[in-house]
Amino acid sequence: MFLKKNKKGIWKKALGKTQGKGLCVIAPMADVTDNAFREILAKYSTPDLLYTEFVSADGLAHPTGRKRLLRDLEYTKKQRSTSPVIAQIFSGKPDNIRQGAALVQRLGFDGVDINTGCPSRTINKQVCGAELIKKENRELARKLIQAVKEGAPKLDVAVKTRLGWNEIDISWIQFLLEQDVDMLTIHLRTRKEMSKVPAHWELMTEIREMRDRISPHTLLLGNGDINTKEEAYAKISKYGIDGVMIGRGIFKNPLLFDADRVPSVKERYMLLKEHITLFEANFGPTKRNMKEFGKRIKSFYLMKKFLKVYVNGFPGAKEVRNELMQIHEPKELLDNITATLKDI
Ligand SMILES: Cc1cc2nc3c(=O)[nH]c(=O)nc-3n(C[C@H](O)[C@H](O)[C@H](O)COP(=O)(O)O)c2cc1C
């Protein structure tokens, strides 16, 4: 872990570095933006801000759960030196999220984000994620945000949310803007809409005007359905916002943050090989993992899901992918890719 002095205002600095273009940020994605994939992004694509996966602050407060979750809060020097790295946490308990935020600060992250948008029933049952959008939970939401600020006084504090629970609820956005946070990211869909309908970008102007009125210093990011950097900059300039967050777009082009550069076939295989190697070094049956947990800590299946990202966009890709999906051993998959690379 690399402990460096945390400073408030680091995101505004990152915005300044974009020379007026606005922030293009990788969205937090569970089992996607882990230490391995963040390394690939930092090395080859460089989003303006990097995000961890969401991490349970209740789990971090738990004596046994903590050890495993701390692994989700690892990052490398490379990541921190290319972009600020933000840890996303969630909890429905102010004491736990305060402790979680304090830990995030101690670990040296460049900010902390509170998840108030996750639609998963399991998470919502714990009065976490999108459950906090409900009007009856507003006081709790206020306390949670306050607790994070108390826990991590040296860090920038962000909230990521959705537009509403069943219906669009602008009063929720207004409420969040009144909480004086450093950044607010809005996934422009309700919880009910999941990711099934187009994001409501038509509401972005109204929300930006509200931000200008209520909390002009809060950075405002929009999120939903952006697949290219070109689209990202078009949205930023059309709505006058500070940036956008991109999630699933990265599955279509892992290098999109590098000015939409499309990787060659050779590059795709090289990226895949490096990603598998990083994945295994972090989550495979390493000495460290075997000593601490007695097993690998992430299923190799989660890595294989990335085959669709890399083995894609060239003739015959689907057939090759189907073949590679049948390989269950990391070493065998790596050998196969090495052999393919010799022929390219
Ligand atoms: C696989 C996956 C995992 C996700 N995990 C998280 C998460 O941990 N925290 C979070 O705030 N949002 C999470 N999201 C939501 C994304 O951050 C983003 O808001 C959503 O995908 C919409 O953006 P997009 O249309 O650019 O994909 C996840 C989305 C996907 C597809």
Model confidence over 18-37: pLDDT tens digits? 999 999 999 999 999 999 99
Mutate to test the pocket of ligand 1, among 187, 197, 231 (most ligand atoms within 8 A of CB): 187
pTM: 0.97
The arithmetic mean of pLDDT across residues 189-215, rounded, is 98
Q: What share of the chain in percent tops pLDDT 70? A: 98
The arithmetic mean of pLDDT across residues 39-45, rounded, is 97
Structure confidence at residue 338 (pLDDT) = 97
C-alpha of residue 216 to centroid of ligand 1, in Å: 26
Structure confidence at residue 238 (pLDDT) = 98
Domain boundaries along the sequence of the chain: 10-252, 265-343
163 lines ligand 1 (CB under 6 A): no
**Residues near 170 by Cβ (< 8 Å), separated by ≥ 6?**
163, 203, 206, 207, 210
Model confidence over 319-339: pLDDT tens digits? 999 999 999 999 999 999 999
100 lines ligand 1 (CB under 6 A): no
Residue 99 reports pLDDT greater than 60: yes
C-alpha of residue 335 to centroid of ligand 1, in Å: 32
C-alpha of residue 199 to centroid of ligand 1, in Å: 13
Taking the CA of residue 117 as reference, the ligand 1 atom at the shortest distance is 11
Give the C-alpha distances (Å, rounded to integers) separating 88 from 30, 34, 91, 258. Answer: 10, 12, 11, 24
Model confidence over 174-197: pLDDT tens digits? 999 999 999 999 999 999 999 999
Level-2 CATH architecture, domain 10-252? Alpha-Beta Barrel (3.20)
Q: What share of the chain in percent tops pLDDT 90? A: 97
161 lines ligand 1 (CB under 6 A): no
The arithmetic mean of pLDDT across residues 151-170, rounded, is 98
Catalytic residue among 25, 40, 86, 118: 118
Report whether 149 contacts 143 (CB < 8 A): no
Show the DSSP H helices in 294-329 as ranges. Answer: 300-304, 307-310, 317-325
Structure confidence at residue 7 (pLDDT) = 77
Summary mean pLDDT of the chain = 96
C-alpha of residue 342 to centroid of ligand 1, in Å: 36
88 lines ligand 1 (CB under 6 A): yes
The arithmetic mean of pLDDT across residues 200-223, rounded, is 98
Q: Is-catalytic flag, 118?
A: yes
CA angle 177-182-183, nearest 5°? 75
Model confidence over 74-88: pLDDT tens digits? 999 999 999 999 999
The residue contributing the CA closest to ligand 1 atom 5 is: 29
162 lines ligand 1 (CB under 6 A): no
